Structure 1
Amino acid sequence: MKKLFYKILPLAYGKYFDLYALFFPKKTAKKAFYFFCTIRKGRVLPHQKEFLDGAKKEIISIENHDIQTYQWPGSKETVLLVHGWESNTFRWRNLIKKLKEANYNIIAFDAPGHGYSTGKYLYAPLYAHAIQANIDKHQPTHLIGHSLGGMTVIYNEYINKNEFIDKIVTIGSPSEFYKLMNNYQNILKFNNRVLVALDNYIKDRFGFHVKDFSTSEYIKSNTNKGLLFHDKLDKIAPYIDSENVHKNWKNSKFVTTEGLGHSMHQESVNDEILNFLNE
């Protein structure tokens, strides 16, 4: 019964958006946008508390959000870790162990609405502001992002161009925003009137159309050294997205895996990251 409920609920929202858009397309777009951006999990779980609480650093305020930051001090370069959708800093625990052993200075933070940070919604421009606030404060040399985190790291470097950043690592990251929107439409089954209204809302609010947000395009002007990981069987983010980013990223290396999944916590992945940072 519970599975049936969660299967029917998105379709009910889709029909609601279809009807509402006939009369109030702008209001419908806003409702559909915030439904898309609503965070439903990713808060700190009991088994994560000990690991995170011991590394808590200051809280940074951005756009009425309190962003919880963390630090594992080291004498080498600073590495900033950026987690993905409905996750939190705990997802980096295996990589953090490796980076600590190598004496890197590690900074991480919980995205708005995730972990210990406040909020209910997350979208790339907001996440980019949180990333940039941490970059401004901690001046990292290297950025590592998983999934949406990696996508937003590239977007943030495109709009802010932090010249002191040397290396960027992305893990299982999507590239094309329109694919995320198309998937959203496929799940809720709303019509194209709603999709067009959503596109207009995003353009009015953020200054770009859905199809304009493309890290495979943004990366063309990026001069950082890059390392990309993507699993061919990734069911969350399309493998071809990292392929396309790599093709346009002149100074990048692409590591393809098969069967490691989307999260990619494996030791082989973390060892490859560490080797890349040590080069």
Structure 2
Amino acid sequence: MPYFLTNLAAKLIGLYINILSYLAPTAANRIAYMYFSKPLRGRLKKDRLPIILREAQQETITYNNAVFEAYVWPGNETKVLLVHGWESNASRWKLLISYLKKSGCTIIALDAPAHGLSSGDEFTIPHYAEFVNVLVNKYQPQYLIGHSLGGATALYFQAHYPNPFIEKMVVLGAPSEFNSILQNYRKLLGLSNRVFNKLNAFCIECYGMDLKDFSGAAFAKKIDIPGLLVHDRADETVAFKEGKRIADAYPNATFLITNGMGHRLHDDGLYNRIYDYLFNEKQVVSNEEIA
């Protein structure tokens, strides 16, 4: 859908929610949260899986009344777990997987809640982190790689689920502040103060903490394993300052800055750097910039 139509549809939805908030405030709040937490893209059909996922060993895992899909490309005892972002699925790792395979490692990926073949209609970072925790305990990977909200989930996971398995993290294009995400959503739909304040209170109830504390930077402060953080200066989806906040807070992180790769961060040169960081133990200079 062209951007201007997408933007117009968002504004019309926001107008409807704003009006409904005076007539049926509970329903308005429920609809506002639904649009905030429900991905519109990223689903997969089992009979139409991308080739990269058909090449993997698939496992459907049931956990706390939820079902999620995991994919394993078998290799040696070194294991890497891949955590994708919003409105995506495990197939987003196709290019990186081709690099990781060169090491001979075992690669594990999963579909987030309400994405890919996993169940549900709602995505939250704490719920996603529960899925990650199941796989970390099952496969005991040494390396964890996350992109976008998958990167934020990786930070949340490592801060809230201490474990002896993860030795290094790679976090790509992750947002830091939950409040920033919420404010962007408010701006997109043009939500009134009345609706936004109720949505904010509802999110605090759902996440079980003040949203000011729900921060990638706050989570990063608690992590002591080495991490490689990557963010593009021209990222139009997650502002560069978000990645910088995480890097400044993470005590044992290297911050790699890219130019012109955008939010997706699909690049041969970058993937070579990630490969070297994980498997060749080559030093990456913090705040180094690559094109």
Query: Is this a same-fold pair by TM over 0.5?
Result: yes
Instruction: Determine the C-alpha separation between the residues in 2 that align with 1:246 and 1:2.
Output: 34
Cα deviation, residue 26, structure 1: 4.2
**What does residue 64 of structure 1 align with?**
65
Aligned with 1:81: secondary structure? strand
Whether contact under 8 Å (1:235, 1:262) holds in the other structure is yes
Give matches, 1:193-272, under 5 Å: 193-272=194-273
* Paired letter, 1:55: A
Aligned to 1:20: 20
One-letter code aligned to 2:124? Y
Measured in 1, the distance between the counterparts of 2:48 and 2:243 equals 32
- Percent of pairs identical after alignment? 35
AA of the residue aligned to 2:148: S
Aligned to 2:150: 149
CA distance in structure 2 between the aligned counterparts of 1:277 and 1:120, rounded to whole angstroms: 34
* CA displacement at 1:206 relative to structure 2: 2.1
Structure 1 counterpart SS, 2:164: coil
Matched, 1:100 2:101: yes
For 2:170 and 2:6, the matched residues in 1 are separated by: 35
- Alpha-carbon distance, 1:153 to partner: 0.8
- Determine if contact 2:89/2:112 at 8 Å carries over to the other structure: yes
Map of 1:110 onto structure 2: 111
The CA deviation at 1:264 is 1.1
Whether the aligned pair in 2 keeps the contact of 1:200 and 1:209 (CA below 8 Å) is: no
Q: Which residue of 1 aligns with 2:11?
A: 11
* Residue 266 of structure 1, CA deviation: 0.8
TM-score (structure 2 length as normaliser):
0.89
Deviations 1:68-127 (A, max 9, x none): 111111114211000111111111111111111101111101112222222222121221
Give how far 1:23 is off. Answer: 5.1
Could you list the per-position Cα deviations for residues 146-195 of structure 1 after superposition, in whole angstroms to 9, with x for gaps in the alignment?
00100111011112122321101011111111111111011100111111
Aligned residue identity for 2:117: Y
Q: Deviations over 1:21-78 (max 9, x none)?
A: 3355444323211111111111238985222112032111234332111111111421
Give 2:288's aligned residue.
Answer: none
Q: For the Cα contact (< 8 Å) 1:58–1:69, is it kept in 2?
A: yes
Structure 1 residues 120 and 247, CA gap change in structure 2 (3 angstroms):
same
- CA gap of 1:272–1:180, structure 2 versus 1, over 3 A, is same
Once the two structures are TM-superposed, the CA of residue 222 in structure 1 deviates from its matched residue by 0.8
Question: Deviation of residue 213 (structure 1)?
Answer: 1.0
Structure 2: distance between partners of 1:11 and 1:158 = 36
In 2, Cα distance between equivalents of 1:87 and 1:177:
19
Gaps of 5+ in 2: 282-291
- Please provide the CA RMSD for this pair: 2.0
Deviation, 1:211, is 2.2
| Structure 1 residues 26 and 200: alpha-carbon distance in aligned structure 2, compared to 1, 3 A threshold | farther
Give the 3 Å change call, closer, same or farther, for CA 5–255 of structure 1 in structure 2: closer
Q: 1:231 and 1:47 mapped to 2: Cα distance? A: 32
Tell me the TM-score normalised to structure 1 length: 0.93
Per-residue deviation, 1:8? 2.6
Secondary structure in structure 1 of the residue aligned to 2:201: helix
What is the number of residues matched between the two proteins? 279
Aligned to 1:22, the other structure's residue is in SS state: helix
**What are the within-5 Å matches in structure 2 for residues 115-126 of structure 1?**
115-126=116-127
Distance change in 2, residues 1:227/1:193 (3 Å): same
> Could you tell me which residue of structure 2 aligns to residue 139 of structure 1?
140
